[in-house]
Amino acid sequence: MANAFVAAFEILSFGAIIVLIVLGLGIIASMMGIFNFAQGEFVLLGAYITYLAYAKGLPIWAGMLAAPVVVGALGFVLEALIIRRFYAAPIVAMLGTYALGLIIREAVRGLIGGFYLTVPEPIGGSIDIGTIHISAWRFTIIVITLLVMAGCYLLLSRTSFGLRMRATLENPSLARASGISTPLMYGATFAFGSALAGLAGALIVPVFSLYADLGLRFLIQGFVAVMVGGVGSFIGPVAGAGVIGTLSAALPWVMAPVVADVLVFVLAIVFIKFRPQGLIAGKGV
């Protein structure tokens, strides 16, 4: 019983991590219609900034707060300089952001080398419930994921910023005619998605360590999750990430990890083939 509980917790916390990583990816894909291949590298940057803060002797929390801010600002600049030119063609956007990701990844590799750098958990130890011990930090990640999800939802559905964002998504030219600065909205959306990736990187670095291919590890998983969930809505990618994250954490408990890993992807692709709109068909946010 205790084992089952620990297993369920592990699975849940991994699902939360994937949701956190996919949230920004899904927002950018849904809002702007491009699949950002550099998103994994934004996660990597968030992790790297947190590590830098830690290595300089600052509190880890400071690094974790700085990560989304810095990565978000970088996202805003990159959108204005480069990403903006790709909106006309989704495939070109994939290639362009792939090149961008390559540059960031190799730059970080140059800075840290091939090492696995570790950052301690800001909240160490475990939460004990009777004889069961669960990692306090992983529990915190689950809580933060829920808070971030709620925050994103409120931001998109209850604020005027969210309204402008959704208007731009629904009909860019009409939004422009109504006085919304659509280029600014695109920039803000991309920055927001990047900031979420930065935050995800900051939160997961104590769990996965820091290495150059950290972002790459989650990239394909993220894309598949977005497609499974359904592009074009806020909740779709989150649901997809939950399903994919949970499956890829749960299946290794019952079969060989490699088989499980491959099976998740095969199932996902078959699912998308027969239900291209995803779990939750997009109706805007």
Partner 1 sequence: MPKSMSVVREAIAGDEADDAMVERVAAGQAKKQVKAGRKVLPIVEGVVLVAALLAPLVLQDYLTVFATRVIILALFALSFDLVWGYAGIMSFGQALFFGSAGYGVALLARDLNITNILLVLPAGTLIGLTFALLLGGFLLLGRHPSSVIFVSLGTLTGSYAADRLARGWYYLGGQNGIPSIAPMSIGGYEFTEGPAFYYLVLGILVVVYLLCRFLVRSQFGLALAGLRENEQRIAFFGYKAQHLKAIIFAIGGAIAGLAGSLYAFHEGFVWPNMVGVVVSTQVVLYVLFGGSGTLIGAVIGTVIVEGVSFWLSDNYRDIWPIILGLLLLLVILFRPLGLISFVLGERERVGSFGAKAREKRDAP
174 near partner 1, rule: CB under 8 A: no
Q: Which residues contact 246 (CB under 8 A, 6 or more apart)?
A: 11, 12, 14, 15
List 195, 227, 238, 247, residue binding partner 1 (CB under 8 A): 227
Binding letters toward partner 1, positions 126-145, x by CB under 8 A:
--------------------
State the minimum distance, in angstroms, from the CB of residue 119 to partner 1.
24
177 near partner 1, rule: CB under 8 A: no
User: What is the C-alpha separation between 67 and 24, in angstroms, rounded?
Assistant: 14
265 near partner 1, rule: CB under 8 A: yes
User: What is the C-alpha separation between 202 and 196, in angstroms, rounded?
Assistant: 10
The residues pairing with 7 across neighbouring beta strands, listed in sequence order, are: none
94 near partner 1, rule: CB under 8 A: yes
Helices (H), the chain: 2-32, 39-55, 60-81, 90-112, 136-158, 160-170, 172-177, 182-208, 214-229, 235-250, 257-274
Please report how the helices 39-55 and 90-112 are oriented relative to each other, as an axis angle in degrees rounded to 10. 20
Cβ closer to partner 1: 58 or 95? 95
List 58, 146, 177, 262, residue binding partner 1 (CB under 8 A): 262
255 near partner 1, rule: CB under 8 A: no
186 near partner 1, rule: CB under 8 A: no
Q: Which residues contact 217 (CB under 8 A, 6 or more apart)?
A: 40, 208
Q: Which 23-82 residues touch partner 1, going by CB under 8 A?
A: 30, 33, 35, 82
Reduced to 3 states (helix: H, G, I; strand: E, B; else coil), residue 282 is coil
271 near partner 1, rule: CB under 8 A: no
The whole-angstrom distance between residue 281's C-alpha and the CA centroid of its chain comes to: 20
Q: Which 187-226 residues touch partner 1, going by CB under 8 A?
A: 216, 220, 223-224
121 near partner 1, rule: CB under 8 A: no
Which stretches of the chain bind partner 1, using CB under 8 A?
30, 33, 35, 82, 85, 87-92, 94-96, 98-100, 102-103, 106-107, 109-110, 169, 216, 220, 223-224, 227, 230-232, 256-259, 261-262, 265-266, 268-269, 272-273, 276-278, 281-284
